[in-house]
Structure 1
């Protein structure tokens, strides 16, 4: 059990698979109560059964597309009615498509912005008033190293994650006055089904497969940081060093690394 997490209510979006599922498992292991959100309700129900059987924790599932903003409000009202409080929100729902800008349809661009940015903001907007009133809470936004280090063939996805980081950094300063913590999580590529959409050709996965992060280890790092003062979680460390170098010397990195970046 983790004393910081035991008995706390944790909401996780995008919880039906991948990183979201692994974070739910880890939070349940630590004694948290879970409100799990995703579109694929059959996977949520299966996860609920597993968690209740193995960890004897309270788990409720809520089918939701985070781009349906009126449904977002209704869902969070239902969570508060069921659990009585929300102590943490992990905004994990998101997707990406790796294509050059001229190849990416506007529909796909809008989809990424709607889910990755606006959906995240909508969910956060529902918990903030309650967290501020109770004087306690934690919002964790799953961003990406792509939000710190732009590269070819990810213009729209990278733009969405830059937006998430901008929102998160501003929110952190606002929320601190009310006892609410805000953390940005910036992972590199994770070995999940994210790439079935992002990389249909399989080229990117083939090129970076040996560097891919284990979702269980990422989940452990994220959940272990709940209710701490972690400003950012950056994984892997070497990739974050590259992001920092890029921020200091962008022209040099773009010139030297241009060929490498196109290996997506």
Structure 2
């Protein structure tokens, strides 16, 4: 199993990346430095995370060649619109200390103002044509959002970053993406979001099936879940601020799940979303200013 995947425009992307969602800005540079030292070569951030500068600082301090690290960021809904999104790129690239962002995506659909979403995506198309980004995509888009986007724009998204873990797999959405050449990226890939509800018995980390499979391979539950994504051809972006956990999550290329083990994990899907419903995202409830610096 290769540790890279190829996007629909021929750009290679690491099969496993490092995410910084909810990582405090002051801790981001240190966490990213640990990830780069471990061997991660994709860093996923977003304007709304308020930690792009920490990612950029870590990249700059690492001494890594720019071409050796794949940088992904996201435009927040407050910056949707054609000119606004072009400016959002300038803000993000400045904070990241890069001239080119490898993958630039829309963070959410904006169902109640989808014209703004379309205009924002057309700005991404311009950035792609101008060589300022190497690939473009979306995040948290459902089938109806993607259908409209495909009808009204020219470039098929390279990725759709969505909530995917053993308890919430969104198979119909993944299959739609596959049919159109859109790679599924998994946020919360090891189901960390299932631990936020205060009931450990319903966490993926304690699921008897996953724990049994982990014991059989002498791996952790998290490693088994990440391997499950990789063998399904899903690009995963786990997050952590603990160096030991960061390293553990990357150590998933030396074992393979059997077809039966994959099927057993597949059967764990509850259909219960942990994140916000995409249809409720509005500027009124989720809008926030993205600072210039």
Fold match by TM threshold 0.5? no
After TM superposition, the score normalised by the length of structure 1 is: 0.41
